[in-house]
Amino acid sequence: LSQYPHEREVLLPPLSGLEAMGSSVEGTMLNIHSRLSLNLAAQTLEQVLSRRRKMLMDMSTGIEFELRDILGDGPLYKTALKILRKALAYGALAQTPDWFNDDDNFSQVLNEVLYLQRILTNEVRKLDSALDKNELNLRSWKARGPARIMLL
């Protein structure tokens, strides 16, 4: 390693560092004796920047498990799972990792995902019966009910 442009440089891989072990002076040159250390437990910059997005992805996996516990392994679960994955793919997870680092954005998307979870656990039967029909009739549904909004 050198601070002078005419000397050769050594590039170090990510997550590595130099630990100073000692130093000595030879004439006008300061020699620092060091050893290379590699930290495999540290996260890369990309991982740190997308930590909130990963938190949301982990949360969606937990929601999938909860849906299976509530709905069983039958067709209702499969419908709820399909709706959840599509909603996340076209909604929250369509954003770049940097978008999640804004507190307002992250708060909004967490609220939306939790609302989606409540809808799926409480209204999935209505949604499932509506998806099976060739003709969609929403007359008996509340105008601003969560199942109607989700279906639309």
Domain boundaries, the chain: 1-42, 45-151
* pLDDT score of 144: 64
Q: How far is CA 21 from the centre of its chain?
A: 40
Alpha helices per DSSP H over the chain:
45-49, 51-71, 75-90, 103-131, 146-151
Residue 131's closest CA among 93, 95, 78, 88?
78
Phi, psi of 129 (to 5 degrees): -65, -35
Q: What does the pLDDT look like over 40-85, one tens digit per residue?
A: 777 777 777 788 899 999 999 999 999 899 888 888 888 889 888 9
Please enumerate in sequence order all residues whose Cβ is within 8 A of that of 50, keeping only pairs 6 or more positions apart, or say none: 97, 100
Q: What does the pLDDT look like over 20-29, one tens digit per residue?
A: 899 999 998 8
What does the mean pLDDT of the chain come to? 80
pTM of structure: 0.60
pLDDT exceeds 80 at position 117:
yes
150, with CB counted inside 10 A (0-12, 13-18, 19+), is middle
Please enumerate in sequence order all residues whose Cβ is within 8 A of that of 131, keeping only pairs 6 or more positions apart, or say none: 79, 151
Please enumerate in sequence order all residues whose Cβ is within 8 A of that of 14, keeping only pairs 6 or more positions apart, or say none: 44
> Whole-angstrom distance between the N-terminal and C-terminal Cα of the chain?
61
* pLDDT score of 150: 60
Phi, psi of 32 (to 5 degrees): -110, 120
